[in-house]
A = this chain, B = another copy of it.
């Protein structure tokens, strides 16, 4: 699957010059000419509006409405967290799956919020007016303030139903205000047993051919009743044929196609490599922890699942950046743009040498990376208790400030998300938290060194195991009521927090000054320099390439187009479709190649020739998981859930010869609902054409 850990990197826009089917396009700027020329397809306003309003975001994943009464299709791995949250030692919905035949059996996901993009508004002029003539910290603060105000004004009084967000596109070339309809009550209707979507497990993830039913169905509720929607995608029974035009509509998280070479080298040498170092070790730890017993296996299962997915992404991106071709081409593009600037004196005067400025910022980025990671991103404290304590402490400080002066993650428009996470009823398992915390405490000592004042402050005369035990045994933050009390002490937040004797609160209070200091240094000396200079590069690039380009992914709604197509791997053609028969052939009975009992029992009823998974040339990236794959009639022909091994390079460029989106076919979903899961009621409700 294709869920991606978001990287904490700012930056980025515009594409490299057009490859076939390249691009994650905003809905206000679709590649109409290319669609017309290549596919004879006209994206008229009605079509675009319908696709936009049928598309849904789950926060980290994509999804879509598939019925008038609020049924929402997404990936199974996008609801895996919910399945784990509603499970217990007695009942494991992740393993067993779930089918609510009656509405009253639909199960609420405690932390899931759905949203639908309603409107896009260009606010570039407003933002630019607010920051005009400012630089550095003043620029950053003014921009935070105007964004917070635009968000707040847009939301108005109806906070429960409306969410707004200013999106920075083309690296500051454009600012758009996105308004969403919120659905804060999402309930699970159907999820297959984990063995069906996760068939092939980590070995098959990001590989192809594959055979995964990575699908699940939620229902959006409003006021305790199913949400009624006018825009949704009906299913196409036949799906798409080889060569047929297919769109994805979803929210790709982040691409880095326009980082400078210096930034790509920092990403490779520092960020990705350190992510790999941490991730691989934690993977081994969790793998062995899960062997302690069924309950430990359940508790750590979801963490390990997403960790392994993240490691594949990191490895793929590292390999892409280490392969000789990519940086060679990036260097050539950089040289080409520099030459273009050099040939244009007016532009040269305006632009200067932003590459050099960014390269200098990389020296700082490399120097402070370990401290920033450990202290500000909180990797020193790998436990949910720490995240909760930090939200409480910083939230108290930040909410006492005017909206525009806060850390952006505590602006009024973001508070509903913060509170949803903070008050999540998802269980916390103290013994598991101790294991992770002890590990991360040994790591921070390794990263910063035993004699670092932060390490000395945190460990004192204790070992990581002793500190972890003391903190976890002493905290009350596992109790939601305690969190609520600390958060809601509105009159004098700081005093309540300061008086708390909770060891995690005390820890955050003791270390927050250093965390804020390194954050400030990072923002002022790295990200601000990168943003300011990337804006200059973007200007030059617009001048060179014109405006018919797409921005880098920003976690917001995009449309991609492509067609059903295999590729050639080491000289051998890879067919675009797999079928149910292939899944049974691949079944060994040994995990992760063990089909669920329901499948084995249903084998005689299943149409083994029915297409199951397929690949297309759509340009997607992590965050697109759960994206509807639709045909020109806006019918669902598939459900995106993964990319092939070459898709990792998509973070940096799009190579349509090998980069492929992987989806479950619409026919495959219908076949399983009918002949494996007997989901009669659901099938009666889902419009199929």
Out of B202, B318, B324, B450, name the residue touching A446 (CB < 8 Å): B202
- Smallest CB separation, A593 vs chain B (Å): 8
Residue A689 lies at the interface, judged by CB distance under 8 Å to chain B: no
A243 within 8 A of B: no
- Residue A273 CB within 8 A of the other chain: yes
A202: nearest chain-B partner, CB-CB: B446
Give min CB distance, A198 to chain B, whole Å.
14
Contact A287 B439, beta carbon cutoff 8 Å: yes
Q: How far, in whole Å, are A319 and B370 apart by their CA atoms in the complex?
A: 13
- Min C-beta distance of A584 to chain B, whole Å: 13
With beta carbons under 8 angstroms apart, the residue of B281, B445, B449, B466 that contacts A283 is B281
Contacts of A289 in B (CB 8 A): 288
What is the chain B residue whose CB lies nearest that of A590? B463
Q: Which residues of the other chain, B, contact A200 by a CB distance below 8 angstroms?
A: 450
Q: Indicate if A461 sits at the interface (CB-CB under 8 A).
A: yes
Which B residues are CB-close (under 8 A) to A203?
Answer: 442, 445-446, 449-450
Residues of B within 8 A of A435 (CB): 288
What are 28 inter-chain pairs, A to B, with CB distance below 8 A?
A200-B450, A202-B446, A203-B445, A203-B446, A203-B449, A204-B450, A265-B324, A268-B322, A269-B322, A276-B277, A276-B280, A277-B280, A280-B280, A280-B284, A281-B287, A283-B284, A284-B284, A284-B285, A284-B286, A284-B287, A284-B439, A285-B285, A285-B287, A285-B288, A287-B288, A450-B593, A463-B588, A466-B590
Tell me the bound Cα distance from A679 to B459 in angstroms. Answer: 36
Any B CB within 8 A of the CB of A207: yes
Question: What string of 1s and 0s marks CB contacts (under 8 Å) between A190-234 and chain B?
Answer: 000000000010111001000000000000000000000000000
Residues of B within 8 A of A686 (CB): none
Cβ of A388 < 8 Å from any Cβ of B?
A: no
A315 CB within 8 Å of chain B: yes
The digit string for A268-307, where 1 denotes a CB below 8 A from any CB of B, is 1100010011001111111111000000000000000000
Contact B591 A463 (CB under 8 A): yes
Are A322 and B273 within 8 A (Cβ)? yes
Query: Is A28 on the interface with B (CB-CB < 8 A)?
Result: no
Please tell me if A356 contacts chain B, counting CB pairs below 8 Å: no
Closest 10 CB pairs of A and B: A284-B284, A463-B590, A284-B285, A280-B280, A288-B288, A281-B284, A461-B588, A269-B322, A280-B281, A285-B288
Cβ < 8 Å to B, chain A residues 427-463: 435, 439, 442, 445-446, 449-450, 459-463
- A331–B184 Cα distance when bound, in Å, is 58
Residues of B contacting A445 with CB < 8 Å? 203
- Complex alpha-carbon distance, A322 and B200, angstroms: 35
Q: Is A589 an interface residue (CB 8 A)?
A: yes
Determine the main DSSP class of A at the interface with B: helix
Contact surface of A with B, Cβ cutoff 8 Å: 200, 202-204, 207, 265, 268-269, 273, 276-277, 280-289, 315, 318-319, 322-324, 435, 439, 442, 445-446, 449-450, 459-463, 466, 588-591, 593
| Distance from A435 Cβ to chain B, minimum over Cβ atoms (Å) | 8
Closest to A277 in B: B280
Q: Which residues of B contact A591 (CB under 8 A)?
A: 463
CB-defined contacts of A268 to chain B, threshold 8 Å? 322
Query: Are B277 and A315 in contact (CB-based, < 8 A)?
Result: yes
Complex-state Cα separation, A258 to B614, whole angstroms: 48
CB distance from A508 to the nearest CB of B (A): 23
Closest-CB distance, A234 to chain B (whole angstroms)? 36
Smallest CB gap from A586: residue in B: B450
Contacts of A324 in B (CB 8 A): 265
- The CA-CA distance from A72 to B315 in the complex, in Å, is 46
What 5 new A-B contacts, CB under 8 Å, besides A203-B449, A462-B588?
A203-B450, A273-B322, A281-B287, A284-B286, A461-B588
* Chain B: CB-nearest residue to A461: B588
- Across the interface, A284 reaches (CB within 8 A) one of B282, B459, B466, namely B282
How many Å lie between the Cα of A319 and that of B369 in the bound state?
14
Q: Which of B204, B284, B446, B590 contacts A461 (CB 8 A)?
A: B590
Give A462's nearest chain B residue, CB to CB: B590
Most buried by B among A273, A435, A460: A273
**A202–B286 CA distance with the chains assembled, in angstroms:** 21
Q: How far is the CB of A129 from chain B (nearest CB, A)?
A: 41
Which residue of chain B lies nearest to A366 when distances are taken between CB atoms in the complex?
B323
Residues of B within 8 A of A589 (CB): 461
Cα distance A461–B588 in the bound complex, in angstroms? 5
CA distance A315 to B461 in the complex (A): 28
Q: Specify which chain B residues have a CB less than 8 angstroms from the CB of A269 in the assembled complex.
A: 319, 322-323
Q: How far is the CB of A474 from chain B (nearest CB, A)?
A: 18
Measured between alpha carbons, how far is A319 from B449 in the docked complex, in Å?
A: 17
- A204: chain B residues at CB < 8 Å are 450
A590 to B590, CA, bound (A): 43
Q: B318 to A273, Cβ gap below 8 A?
A: yes
**CA A285 to CA B277, docked complex, whole Å:** 14
Please give, as numbers and ranges, the residues of chain B lying within 8 Å of A280 by CB-CB distance. 276-277, 280-281, 284
CB distance from A233 to the nearest CB of B (A): 33
CB-CB under 8 A from A283, the residues of chain B are 281, 284
Contacts of A207 in B (CB 8 A): 449-450
Contacts of A287 in B (CB 8 A): 281, 284-285, 288, 439
Expressed in whole angstroms, the minimum distance between the Cβ of A652 and any Cβ of chain B is 16
A435, A588, A591, most chain B CB atoms within 10 A: A588
Q: Whole-angstrom distance from the CB of A99 to the nearest CB of chain B? A: 28
Q: Which residues of B contact A590 (CB under 8 A)?
A: 459, 461-463, 466
Residues of B within 8 A of A439 (CB): 284, 287
Which chain B residues border A319 with CB–CB below 8 Å?
269
Q: Please give me the residue from chain B that is nearest to A446 by CB atom.
A: B203
Q: Which residue from chain B places its CB closest to the CB of A210 in the assembled complex?
A: B450
Chain B residues near A277 (CB-CB < 8 A):
276, 280, 315
Residues of chain B lying within 8 A (CB to CB) of residue A463: 588, 590-591
Q: How far is the CA of A281 from the CA of B279 in the complex (A)?
A: 8
**In the complex, A514 Cα to B322 Cα: how many Å?**
29
With both chains docked as a complex, state the minimum distance between the C-beta of A5 and any C-beta of chain B, in angstroms: 17
Which chain B residues border A281 with CB–CB below 8 Å? 280-281, 283-284, 287
B residues near A461, Cβ cutoff 8 Å? 588-590
B residues near A449, Cβ cutoff 8 Å: 203, 207
